[in-house]
Structure 1
Amino acid sequence: MLLHVRNVLTPDELRQAREILASAPWADGRMTAGSQSAQAKNNTQLPETCDATLRLQKLVLDGLARHQLFFSAALPKQISPPLFNRYGGQANSFGNHVDSAVRYLRDGTGRVRTDISCTVFFANPDEYDGGELMVEDTFGQHRVKLPAGDMVLYPGHSVHRVEPVTRGFRLASYFWIHSMVRGDDQRRLLFDMDQHLMSLRTRNGESDPAVIGLTATYHNLLRMWLEF
């Protein structure tokens, strides 16, 4: 499932993030790439333990924590610490690649299965040319270039790339979700059901028999597919 999640960051959070990024210590992006990705990766990113990264991580994680649509779609068991990258100038693209199935945490505390890949945009589309995230699936290629503060979710197993940036800078956060529900098709069914249930609750109220019955079905399906 490829999903556009709007307004993950508030205007004030976005302003803070842009101020931090303006003086951030950018480094070669290949430092976190796997063997395949390193051959295609040409960007810069923030060191994982620098002060700017830690401050930005809090902004992103706070935004995710209050976003109901994100939780409904991702059903997160674990979120890898957000990372931050920049495309522009001579370091301006990332060719076709697939994310590693497992992300080992730098502090040695564990690992994250990369069921879902996520990108939060910090630059608006009119601030740079190119830089589209291209995601491939059985329906073809999807071109993603979102407003600052918005996020895209897509399956971690997808082949994807970032097109060359020919003007300005593309600034973003990227990270992965280990979902409580492994299967993308199962998560999509649960997400669709949850969205319809929220609409029914708004129209009919929580005590409507159909709402109660469908809520039970949703949680029974979730119970069947959950992994801890």
Structure 2
Amino acid sequence: MILHLPQLLNADEVRTARALLGDDAPWIDGRSSAGGQALAQKNNLQLAQDSEHGRDLQRLLLSTVQREPLLLSAALPRRIFNPLFNRYDSQHSHYGAHVDGAVLRSQATQEWVRTDLSCTVFLSDPRDYDGGELRVQDHGGERCFKLAAGDAILYPGTRVHEVTPVTRGVRLASFFWIESMVRSEEQRRILFDLDMNLLQLRAQLGETAQTTALTGIYHNLLRQWAST
């Protein structure tokens, strides 16, 4: 499942993030965090994780994740890899096709995180740069995303994906991974669909015996499938 999350960050939060990601930010070669497969594909800049800028931005992003009900319903987070931040421009322009590592160690928490889901948060106005689409392989083809500043894409960590070359301007983004309580993509999709339909039923009918029973089914499935 690939899910668009509109305005994960509001306009004030986007402005705060962009101010901390200016030219004077502590940018380093993005290849410093790449694994063997990705090393030859990666040509971007990445914000130093242990910098004051990085820590402030990590707190900002994590607070938005915790308040976003759509993301929480779809991902059912168990652990979240500390958010990272990157920059693409005409000299550091792209990240070729790759698959993220299956298990990564968070520098912030020292925890190992299984990358069940990947999330990219767009921080630049799409009119301010050319290229820079996030291209994700989906069943039967590929999908391209170049979203408004503050919007995010959540997608399975198993998918081949890339950032196409930026030919004008600067593309700023955050990215992070989520280890879900429910490891199976298919089971997460069932739970998400059930949750979304329950919300619609409650909006139409209020709380009924049927919505209560369906809520019980949701939690019984979650109890059966979740690891905490």
- TM-score bucket (shorter structure): over 0.9
2:214 aligns to what? 214
The Cα of 1:108 is off from its aligned counterpart by 6.7
The 1-side partners of 2:54 and 2:32 are apart by 15
1:192 aligns to what? 193
The 2-side partners of 1:129 and 1:109 are apart by 37
The Cα of 1:137 is off from its aligned counterpart by 2.4
The 1-side partners of 2:44 and 2:166 are apart by 10
Alignment coverage as a number of residue pairs: 227
* CA deviation map 1:29-79 (0-9, x unaligned): 001110110110000011110111111111111111111111001100010
The 1-side partners of 2:146 and 2:210 are apart by 39
Asked if 1:223 is matched to 2:223, the reply is yes
What secondary structure is seen at the aligned counterpart in 1 of 2:190? Answer: helix
What secondary structure is seen at the aligned counterpart in 1 of 2:31? Answer: helix
The Cα of 1:162 is off from its aligned counterpart by 0.5
The 2-side partners of 1:197 and 1:217 are apart by 11
2:87 aligns to what? 86
The 1-side partners of 2:127 and 2:214 are apart by 43
- The answer as to whether partners of 2:82 and 2:108 remain within 8 angstroms in 1 is no
* CA deviation map 1:185-214 (0-9, x unaligned): 1111111110110111112112x0110111
Asked if 1:6 is matched to 2:30, the reply is no
State the AA in 1 paired with 2:7: N
State the AA in 2 paired with 1:136: Q
* CA deviation map 1:94-141 (0-9, x unaligned): 001000000112257320000001101100111111000110122210
The Cα of 1:227 is off from its aligned counterpart by 1.2
Asked if 1:17 is matched to 2:17, the reply is yes
Unaligned regions of 5+ residues in structure 2, if any?
A: none
1:50 aligns to what? 51
Percent identity, aligned pairs only, is 52
What secondary structure is seen at the aligned counterpart in 2 of 1:100? Answer: coil
State the AA in 2 paired with 1:217: I
What secondary structure is seen at the aligned counterpart in 1 of 2:218? Answer: helix
The 2-side partners of 1:178 and 1:226 are apart by 12
The 1-side partners of 2:3 and 2:190 are apart by 13
The 2-side partners of 1:133 and 1:108 are apart by 28
The Cα of 1:143 is off from its aligned counterpart by 0.4
1:70 aligns to what? 71
What secondary structure is seen at the aligned counterpart in 2 of 1:52? Answer: helix
The 2-side partners of 1:68 and 1:90 are apart by 38
Q: How does 1:74-153 map to 2 (within 5 A)?
A: 74-106=75-107, 109-153=110-154
The 2-side partners of 1:110 and 1:163 are apart by 31
State the AA in 1 paired with 2:57: L
What secondary structure is seen at the aligned counterpart in 2 of 1:134? Answer: strand
What secondary structure is seen at the aligned counterpart in 2 of 1:4? Answer: strand
The 2-side partners of 1:105 and 1:66 are apart by 22
The 2-side partners of 1:17 and 1:73 are apart by 25
TM-score, normalised by the number of residues in structure 2: 0.97
What secondary structure is seen at the aligned counterpart in 2 of 1:94? Answer: strand
The 2-side partners of 1:103 and 1:202 are apart by 40
Unaligned regions of 5+ residues in structure 1, if any?
A: none
The 1-side partners of 2:123 and 2:80 are apart by 19
